Homo-oligomer: A and B are copies of this chain.
């Protein structure tokens, strides 16, 4: 019995009225770029307009929570508020405990961010033990063993913004 597997969308969503922010770290750039592309393609396929996808960057994953917050603030100040944000980062276990403390604090902070910014925050953080794991989850390992997880994040962003975003009800 194949119980596991990708959570499918519960219906086709129309993203044509949504504004989506992507904010990504710049470490492990090849992997990040593939994930960002995957998220964008999936959102375009769900009707999000290219001009309504705004991309910003931060140096590393630890900067994602505060960077996301201020990115959201800045878009609001411009009169172009976001309906949802996808922070994207790739953390790979090294020899110190840096990976564990960054992963843990960033995950909690992104979760808690939602109550401060009042829009959904999609969890686009890969927390991998090896580089190979990260490549696979971006759909770019040599064996093409997995799909590009950015696609899931793009779909989740459209669904969450439509169901639970600031203009959903």
A contact residues vs B (CB 8 Å cutoff): 1, 3-10, 25-31, 56-60, 62-63, 65-67, 69-71, 73-74, 77, 92-93, 95-98, 100-112, 114-116, 120-123, 125-129, 131, 133-135, 137, 152, 155-156, 159-160, 163-164, 168-169
Contacts and interface: CB of A to CB of B under 8 A. Distances in A.
A77 B96 CA distance: 38
| Copies, count | 5
A11 B3 CA distance: 36
A121 to B, nearest CB: 7
B103 A63 contact: no
A115 B88 CA distance: 20
Contacts of A67: 160, 163-164
